[in-house]
Amino acid sequence: MKPLSSFSAFARLFALGALLALCARVQAQTDPLPSWNDGPAKQAIVAFVKETTDQASPKFVPPAERIATFDQDGTLWVEQPMYSQVVYCLERVPAVVKARPELKDVEPFKTVLSGDREAMAKLSMKDLEEILAATLTGMSVDAFNAEVKKWIAEARDPRWKRPYTELTYEPMQEVLKYLRARGYKTYIVTGGGQDFVRVYSEATYGIPPEQVVGTAGGTKYGYGKDGKPFLTKEPKLLLNDNDAGKPEGIHLMIGRRPFAAFGNSTGDRQMLEYTKAGEGARLAMLVLHDDGKREYAYGPAPGLPDTKVGTFTQELYDEARKQGWVVISMKDDWKRIFAFDER
Amino acid sequence: MKPLSSFSAFARLFALGALLALCARVQAQTDPLPSWNDGPAKQAIVAFVKETTDQASPKFVPPAERIATFDQDGTLWVEQPMYSQVVYCLERVPAVVKARPELKDVEPFKTVLSGDREAMAKLSMKDLEEILAATLTGMSVDAFNAEVKKWIAEARDPRWKRPYTELTYEPMQEVLKYLRARGYKTYIVTGGGQDFVRVYSEATYGIPPEQVVGTAGGTKYGYGKDGKPFLTKEPKLLLNDNDAGKPEGIHLMIGRRPFAAFGNSTGDRQMLEYTKAGEGARLAMLVLHDDGKREYAYGPAPGLPDTKVGTFTQELYDEARKQGWVVISMKDDWKRIFAFDER
């Protein structure tokens, strides 16, 4: 390293700059989105990145302002047949009842304990809220994190028999990495629980907890018997991060309007609208689940079933066309869905 | 740049690594805290950084987990004789009354309009809350940001006749930069308004809006006459980022426990407690305002006046000693207070 230390400061800076420029060129020659077929969706992503990160572009965006937001369920990973967080809550019920035996014969806990899937499918939204409150609140933040971490490591999806964290869409993982490599800060903006997603977001998506915006409850600061302070998760809703709650949550947690937003359902409509309403180049994309063979098919196309989660209505499809949002067809745009798929 | 492009990939990586190592050595030889006298406070900061960023240290902290939080008023900039955000609100009253003339003869607006400082000093907390609600809510987020930006550029502190953003403490600016250079993500965690501070945080402290946690109100998503969506600031409190609200806000907005926290008043006590309760090396520091000549003197020392803002009680001082929080004496620890002070 001796010869290097004799460089003048200027020469060092120049050499560093040349190396960085070289690295950028080498990177540009490799396809950053190898799991995407060359179609309008891929082209829209690449064009957006070029337009906003090329210094010579009239729509150049300074690095500090490069924010991209992603819905999670159905956009980054599988949401069928049930959101994995709901599965978590249902599977936590026995432990909750063990700790609070008075709930054993009380609905909706009784039905969940029975394991009767038909009866469970009939539970109302109010029932579900009661289950969520009992399984997501009342414990310390640390205890909750430990429980979720354990569950995420052990739980398996019923169809692929794999951890839920392996059921992320490889093409979207590539978009996350591609945007980050171009100076974008990537955020998850999910209707799911913020605390839940934060447990695995870094390992699963490379997105740190502080870049996860989700439905969030309050916490209460208090002291343990040992005098140590801790936070307890309270059954008090601070942010319902769905629909209009998404742009509201983005303002609360990020404070800047995204330049790119990705979703897959009516719950993402306002986030996409808000993103596109900004000045300059803005990218809004919707994942359309039209691949019943490799994943699931549900959406506005005739013949596709209407499911309870991830509602992609005909109205949303029409708005996408009208507003210039790009619809991603899983069937046509994605060469493979999961990392474990054959290339 | 031709010779460089013939380097093998390995040689390029090696050269880059050597350059980075060299830069790190050059940096290490320069005092990162030149405005600090060499005393226990400076030593505590340097020791903490070494302990948590040296790979060989048993208390090494991975870069992703390096979070440091800073109170703003009285910790990063002057808070006397009045929080600048309160000055902003009082100075906005004439514009609010112009837009809503029915408030002209209604208290507390009438008193503020009179300019009678003695009467204004007697306004109750409820009066102040009414003024804050009228001046901080009811407008669009964009309109609010534009107003604050304008005010920050034009307003002058009565004592130094300078923009408030020049009244930041140079030694604390050095700590922010030093921590960032060592891989820490620096956050403001303020009792002040999150939206207010976010307007100038990047230019003033190098802290982007998404790293500002503060007292936050809700917003409401809606559409303008042109059909464009926008957010309106609502008079609905989501987070009171003072006292226990600071660790609660840190959990909500960051989701990780800080390794270092800096404050100056009883409102920061829980943030410091929470920080120190974590495992490994944790740094908690309190700025003591004991320099009436160069700044202001208010605090627990006998003879110092008790003021309404930035309460540093004897009890807080005693707890700091007991808990191993480091008290920063502005008088003894800081060579200079402001960037414009003579070196």
Res A313: pLDDT? 85
CB contacts, 8 Å: B216 with chain A: 252
Nearest CA in chain B to A277: B228
Confidence check: pLDDT of B260 > 70:
yes
Structure tokens at A225: 């018997």
Report residue B234: phi and psi, to 5°: -100, 150
Mean pLDDT of A170-188: 98
Nearest CA in chain A to B231: A248
The alpha-carbon gap from A296 to the nearest alpha carbon of chain B, in Å, equals 32
Res A243: pLDDT? 96
CA distance B51 to A101: 47
The alpha-carbon gap from B70 to the nearest alpha carbon of chain A, in Å, equals 16
Res B17: pLDDT? 57
| Range of weakest confidence among A122-131, A247-256, B308-317 | B308-317
Q: Which of B209, B229, B256 sits opposite A277 (nearest CB)?
A: B229
Res B4: pLDDT? 38
Q: Report CA dihedral (B115, B117, B123, B127) to the nearest 10 degrees.
A: 30
Structure tokens at B312: 């540093």
Report residue B21: phi and psi, to 5°: -65, -40
CA distance A279 to B313: 49
Considering just the CA atoms, what is the radius of gyration of chain B in Å? 23
Q: Position of tokens 């945080």?
A: B201
Each residue's pLDDT tens digit, A16-72: 556 555 555 555 568 999 999 999 999 999 999 999 999 999 999 999 999 999 999
Each residue's pLDDT tens digit, B162-216: 999 999 999 999 999 999 999 999 999 999 999 999 999 999 999 999 999 999 9
Strand ranges, E, within A194-314: 212-223, 229-239, 260-263, 283-290, 297-298
CB B173 within 8 A of CB B205: yes
Structure tokens at B208: 């982007």
A78 vs B: CB within 8 A:
no
Q: Report CA dihedral (A250, A251, A253, A254) to the nearest 10 degrees.
A: 80
CA B118, distance to chain mean position in Å, is 30
Report CA torsion sign: A111, A115, A118, A122.
positive
The alpha-carbon gap from B49 to the nearest alpha carbon of chain A, in Å, equals 22
Each residue's pLDDT tens digit, A123-156: 898 999 999 999 999 999 999 999 999 999 999 9
Q: Which helix (H) or strand (E) holds B141?
A: helix B141-154
Q: Report CA dihedral (A322, A326, A332, A337) to the nearest 10 degrees.
A: -140
Q: Is B206 left (phi over 0), alpha (psi -120 to 50) or beta?
A: left
Percent of chain A with pLDDT over 90: 80
Confidence check: pLDDT of A1 > 50:
no
Each residue's pLDDT tens digit, B243-252: 999 999 999 9
Interface probe with A: pick from B243, B251, B268, most Cβ of A within 10 Å:
B251
Confidence check: pLDDT of A205 > 60:
yes
A5 vs B: CB within 8 A:
yes
CB contacts, 8 Å: B252 with chain A: 194, 216, 218-219, 238
Structure tokens at B190: 């303020």
Q: Give pTM, 2 decimals.
A: 0.90
pLDDT tier at B100 (50, 70, 90 boundaries)?
very high
A218 vs B: CB within 8 A:
yes
CB contacts, 8 Å: A230 with chain B: 277
Cβ-Cβ contacts under 8 Å for A271 (sequence gap 6 or more): A69, A71, A189, A246, A247, A250, A258, A261, A263
pLDDT tier at B91 (50, 70, 90 boundaries)?
very high
Each residue's pLDDT tens digit, A312-327: 888 898 999 999 999 9
